[in-house]
Structure 1
Amino acid sequence: VTRSHRNEDRGGEHRWAFNGVEYPTRKLMCEARRAEYVRLLDEEGMNFTQAAHAVGVSKRTGKAWRNGRTRATGRNEKPLVDRYRSTMDKPRTLHPRHLSQEERIQIADRLRLGDSIRAIARLPGRDPGTVSREVERNRNPESGGYEPYQAQQKAADRLKRPKPRKAAEGTRLWDEIAAGLRRHWSPEQIADRPRPDLPDNGDTHASVETIYQAIYLQARGELKQEIKRAMRQGRTARRPQGGQGRKPRFREPMVMISERPPEIEDRAVPGHWEGDLITGSRNKSAIGTLVKRTTRFTILPHLPDGHDAEHARQAIIDKMQHLPKLLRNSLTWDQGAELALHKRTGASLDMAVHFRDPHSPRQRGTNESTNGLLRQYFPKGTDPSVYPEDHLDAVAEELNDRPRKTLGFMKPSEKIIELLDAA
């Protein structure tokens, strides 16, 4: 077991030691301890509890490190609890959800008495299938009898499984993850997008949580900055989610969302869009966003000269007037003043315009979600007016080339082509 402690020399200065190395500050010592924790997980194949014990911190601190909490002041680090130290060198015990040694002995005794699997399962309160698999897995190949002590040892050995982390830096899986991040794909899109070009084994495929853990653990130094640029929200650590919808600013008579035809709600009919603005600092400039409800196809109207009602109307018309009539049925907006000329806009495009209720961003969930994706390209506080129209078109093209879970991991660009071909 490695330990860290504070030494005080004769001059009154504090020295912090870890693994036999002294550090001038506690922060540096904590950074070394976290690096050792990650190394034990990646290279030594330790599980979370073992690695935390080895560097002398609690499992809770280890979990915080895995979730990307890298501020190594030591203030939030919890020391190893004494009760953990007292059991570290003892043989590993299994979780209560697993069969215990006593239960396995009981199974063996009841089998010798000739009891059925169901009768045996009733006594310890286990599922008959659990008992049946346990017996078949641990029969002696020569005698055919069930051996409880060997079964217990095999179960403990299976749980240890010391091995490097699946998505450690330098593995092929991490290279695939990094490639997806550079294309601004989310971990879920990376995990669930079918990859027929990769071998169908566990070494090249990972769950969403495995990808997040790999990102948070390896977000250090220059790699941290690269990951921060690639992550959609610019985060390298877990943070609570939250937010509020924008307050309504337009109160003129309008057709409310409750008056929309029912087929718009269930996305059964194509051609229905949701729209909004992404605004810059102090709402002085903006970019328009138009998202098709059925395919998530995105269009970004250019607003270089302002986002008042006239400029917004003209930008929307410029982007949508060339679409087939099949794709121009309705537009749903929030109650922003930029759409004060909604009647003229609808008449020019021959499409209905609806408005959501105040304080109800979920009524335009598709557009709100897309705006969140676009903040990766246009962070809050930036000036959207500096981006030329061809840049907005390139961003929209990249967004339409991302696989989406709600589309069965098809891309919006693929889905809209499929829709037009069917029509």
Structure 2
Amino acid sequence: MSLNQAQRYEIRALNAAKIPPKNIALQLKVHKSTIYRELNRGGGRQHYDPVKSQERADLLAATSHLHYDYDEDDWKIVDGKIKEDYSPEQVNGRAKLDGMGVPSVATIYRHVNKDEDLKKHLRHGKKPYRKRGEKKDKRGQIVGRVPIEERPAIVDEKSRVGDIEIDLINSADHDANLLTINDRMTNYSLIRYLPTKNAKDLKRTLVRALKDFEKTFEVKILTITSDNGKEFACHAEIAKAMKADYYFANPYHSWERGANENMNGLIRQYLPKKESFKGISPRKVRWIQDKLNNRPRKRLDFMTPLEYIYTQVITTNLSRVSDENPPNNKARDCLLLHVSMVLL
């Protein structure tokens, strides 16, 4: 639903009065997702600007009927990038960065799907591209799911410990699974073996792992984000047990859990897709987990996730010790060793 200028000023007033978005939606008689999107697009809850938001809406309305006619040279550029294994989104984003006119992501997908040679260069060539919010999506049948659009904007900033992403990796013969868990800010990883995809078994394993994480680092799990697999059907029970908010990414939008997808790719370095890991030993799972947590990351200025979470959380906890008993290096080293060994 489109909002008008008067409604946008009303949103600013109600937001400034700290009225929850859901209540703002009720007052304006619009869906709550409309308000969440409007606030996110207009600068977030703390910096929402109705003037800029209205200007953006006016510009979109004025140009929505305009369609650029791409010529053969434009498509040659697109085809060249696809053959370099760029995704349609990467082609689109890179072209915009370089100041070039470029088809939309959906248009590029339609173009690629007409050419079998180009389709081979997509990471998931056999999987159809689905537009966000497509109604006939068979994976969107989880009761009570809360969409990622309603997740607080601060989660995207990766500025706090406790925003978690989770997923399940399947064994080659679909006879075993690995539950993968990562903290968005620190890239700290947890891996747990699951013999089945049973939702209740996953719930128990996940809650146990997250509670261990909270206890070890003295932090609070704030949000959990997963895909729409039926194995996450017990999401409400997980959220209640952890006293956290649970959100679902959109189907076929794996980039909305980018950190977790990257983690899964790193795990595949040790457990290739064609390899069965049924009956894998806890020691091997722990070894892979330690490999990931002691691997330098460019995003962390080449610190390891273990080092980074230590500097972000453990140092804060140690600083609570009174000045009369400052933490020494030996205490710090013992604590760091404890961190690396506790999370089984």
What is the identity, as a one-letter code, of the residue corresponding to 1:366?
A
Instruction: Render the CA deviation track for 1:280-327: whole Å, top value 9, x for unaligned.
Output: 1243321010011001110002213x1210111111112111222624
In 2, are the aligned partners of 1:290 and 1:367 still within 8 Å (CA)?
Answer: yes
Residue 249 of structure 1 deviates from its aligned partner by 3.0
1:372 matched to which residue of 2?
Answer: 265
What is the identity, as a one-letter code, of the residue corresponding to 2:161?
P
Equivalent of residue 198 in structure 2, options 302, 308, 311? 308
Structure 1: 5+ residue stretches without partners? 1-238
User: CA–CA distance in 1 between the matches of 2:277 and 2:204?
Assistant: 18
Q: CA RMSD in A?
A: 2.2
2:162 matched to which residue of 1?
Answer: 271
Normalization by structure 1: what TM-score? Answer: 0.41
Question: Are 1:393 and 2:274 an aligned pair?
Answer: no
Residue 279 of structure 1 deviates from its aligned partner by 0.4
SS in 2 for 1:382: coil
Question: Are 1:411 and 2:304 an aligned pair?
Answer: yes
User: CA–CA distance in 1 between the matches of 2:242 and 2:264?
Assistant: 23
Cα 1:388–1:379 change in 2 (3 A) is same
Residue 329 of structure 1 deviates from its aligned partner by 1.1
In 1, are the aligned partners of 2:175 and 2:278 still within 8 Å (CA)?
Answer: no
Normalization by structure 2: what TM-score? Answer: 0.50
Q: Based on CA coordinates, which of the two structures has the bigger radius of gyration? A: 1
Equivalent of residue 333 in structure 1, options 226, 233, 254? 226
Cα 1:255–1:388 change in 2 (3 A) is same
1:285 matched to which residue of 2?
Answer: 176
What is the identity, as a one-letter code, of the residue corresponding to 2:224?
L
Equivalent of residue 342 in structure 1, options 222, 232, 235? 235
SS in 2 for 1:322: helix
Structure with the bigger RCO (C-alpha within 8 Å, sep 6+) is 2
Residue 262 of structure 1 deviates from its aligned partner by 0.9
SS in 2 for 1:370: helix
Structure 2: 5+ residue stretches without partners? 1-119, 129-136, 318-344
What is the identity, as a one-letter code, of the residue corresponding to 2:210?
M
1:5-404 alignment runs, 5 A limit: 242-243=123-124, 249-252=139-142, 253-304=144-195, 306-324=196-214, 326-404=219-297
Residue 381 of structure 1 deviates from its aligned partner by 2.6
2:42 matched to which residue of 1?
Answer: none
User: CA–CA distance in 2 between the matches of 1:412 and 1:342?
Assistant: 27
What is the identity, as a one-letter code, of the residue corresponding to 2:141?
R
SS in 2 for 1:283: coil
User: CA–CA distance in 1 between the matches of 2:210 and 2:170?
Assistant: 21
User: CA–CA distance in 1 between the matches of 2:223 and 2:267?
Assistant: 23
In 1, are the aligned partners of 2:163 and 2:183 still within 8 Å (CA)?
Answer: yes
Residue 248 of structure 1 deviates from its aligned partner by 6.4
Residue 250 of structure 1 deviates from its aligned partner by 4.8
Cα 1:298–1:323 change in 2 (3 A) is same
In 2, are the aligned partners of 1:404 and 1:412 still within 8 Å (CA)?
Answer: yes
